[in-house]
């Protein structure tokens, strides 16, 4: 729940509150040993650092998140983290790395869509706003 609230604070530009909540999420996930939640919290911290224009620290957090989430094998979390890395690299004017991460995110999204056998569900998935944003950024 704190992760969701932190994301809302981030979207509102309240970086201090978002960071406080994200750090609480890191602490709780570390204590419980839940890599998925730790990865999500690290990604959130990376996104906050992007907004603070602390790009080197952001890259460290996002790379840590990606490693954790790849260990867990959660496609949604991996594509979201790759999309965050792509945004970071866009702001850093690193088009090579931006393209790489964008293509990775799109590849995971398309792979996930291909596994959906119900055509209506697949179309709905691909039409969803967050998915469209990822696909359109490549």
User: Quick one: which of 68, 47, 69 has its CA closest to 58?
Assistant: 47
- Quickly count: other Cβ atoms within 10 Å of residue 74's Cβ: 17
**Assigned superfamily of 2-136:** Tetratricopeptide repeat domain (1.25.40.10)
> Please, which pLDDT band fits residue 2 given cuts at 50, 70 and 90?
confident
pTM: 0.92
Structure token digits, residue 99: 């393209």
Task: Report yes or no: 68 and 42 within 8 Å, Cβ to Cβ.
Answer: yes
Instruction: Quickly list H helices, the chain.
Output: 2-11, 15-32, 35-51, 55-72, 75-91, 95-114, 119-127, 129-136
* pLDDT of 99: 95
The residues, any chain, with a CB within 8 Å of residue 131's CB and separated by 6 or more, are 109, 125
- Residue 122, classified by CB atoms within 10 Å of its CB into exposed (0-12), middle (13-18) or buried (19+), is middle
For 36-92, the pLDDT digits (tens) are 999 999 999 999 999 999 999 999 999 999 999 999 999 999 999 999 999 999 999
Q: Provide the residue ranges of all domains of the chain, joining segments of one domain with +.
A: 2-136
pLDDT score for 101: 96
pLDDT at 138 over 90: no
The fraction of the chain above a pLDDT of 70, given in percent, is 99
137 vs 125: which has the higher pLDDT:
125
């Amino acid at each position: 729940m704190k992760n969701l609230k932190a994301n809302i604070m981030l979207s509102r530009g309240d970086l201090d509150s978002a960071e406080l909540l994200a750090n609480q999420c890191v602490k709780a996930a570390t204590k419980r040993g839940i890599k998925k939640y730790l990865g999500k919290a690290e990604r959130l911290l990376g996104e906050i650092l992007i907004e603070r224009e602390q790009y080197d620290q952001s890259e460290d957090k996002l790379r840590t998140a990606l490693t954790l989430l790849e260990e867990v094998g959660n496609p949604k979390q991996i594509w979201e983290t790759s999309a965050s890395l792509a945004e970071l690299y866009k702001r850093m004017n690193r088009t090579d790395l931006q393209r790489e991460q964008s293509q990775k995110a799109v590849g995971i999204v398309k792979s996930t869509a291909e596994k959906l056998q119900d055509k209506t569900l697949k179309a709905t998935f691909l039409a969803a706003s967050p998915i469209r944003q990822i696909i359109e950024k490549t």
